[in-house]
Amino acid sequence: MHSEIQSRLANGSILRKRYKILSLISDRSSFGITYLAEDLDLPENHQCVVKHLKPNNSNSRVVEIATRLFKEESRHLHKLGEHDQIPRLYACFEEKNEFYLVQEYVEGNDLCSEIRSGRLWSEKDTLEYLKEILNVLDFVHQEGIIHRDIKPDNIIRRQCDRKLVLIDFGAVKEINNTTIDVRGEELLTVAIGPNYMPEEQRRGIPVLASDIYAVGFIAIWGLTGSPDVVGWTNRSNVKVGDDLIRILERMTDRDHQRRYQNASKALDAIERTKIVVNPSIQPTIWEKFKAWW
């Protein structure tokens, strides 16, 4: 939750005489508050998402930094929205030192709910997930942008076509989490689920390969049904081929220099991977990972 209590917009509120707030989607993150809204300027009750962002405090230096970040990340989101599997940015504006993003509404369920349904991914499922999300991430990385918050909650399986959509880029969260130290220098902190954040990102120096780490961990959760390393010991029935094991080991290596350095390089490895024909003869994923971890 945001460190300060941030006032919610009431249902029926209208922003800029255009975006009518319909309901609260979420206020349980460092991102701010997210609403489902209606664009009154478009026909057929066109729905969109409004994200309300507010810096941690009203210090003029903090507001200055947050404004710069907002403008910079809005440009990035506008560019990234050209990809069919990244939400389009419709509008961005500032009012009273608070910031608003209006984005495409993606109807569907996130991978978190899908994985928690209880059905473990097969090797084929896992490879399909890796190929699809890495293709989207390749577009992001080609722009020199690090997502920084890849986790199952931020990958939506779109209802209309079952494609995976990548949402909620971590850099935007810095607007809410901007603080300054005693020397007036900016400090940026973004809270992300521990299993998906590699060590270099914890230290505040994320790289493109940090996203690869997170993508790999989601694959492991899908295969095993457990997001925790310790949980793998109880998944002795999970069987995958050596090629995929090697890829996941490299994707989630603690040393970012030993990982695939970007989505394109990870995709190249995935494309060369053979799907297991007879998984019953394969070693379990835990037998492969336990020594490494």
Max Cα-Cα span within the chain: 63
* Long-range Cβ contact pairs of 187-191 (< 8 A, separation 24 or more): 190/30, 190/148, 190/149, 191/30
Residue 75, φ and ψ in degrees, nearest 5:
-60, -45
* Residues 48, 90 contacting (CB under 8 angstroms): yes
The SS3 call for residue 186 is strand
- Cβ count within 10 A of residue 134: 25
Element (H, E) at 206: none
**Residue 115 vs residues 154, 161, 166: alpha-carbon distances, Å:** 13, 19, 16
Q: CA geometry: angle at 39 spanning 38 and 41, to 5°?
A: 145
DSSP class of 51? E
User: Which sequence positions are flagged as catalytic?
Assistant: 149
* Residues 41, 18 contacting (CB under 8 angstroms): yes
Do the bridges between strand 98-104 and strand 47-53 make them parallel or antiparallel, or are there none, so unpaired?
A: antiparallel
DSSP codes joined into one string, 79-124: HHTTSTTSPPEEEEEEETTEEEEEEE---EEEHHHHHTTSPPP-HH
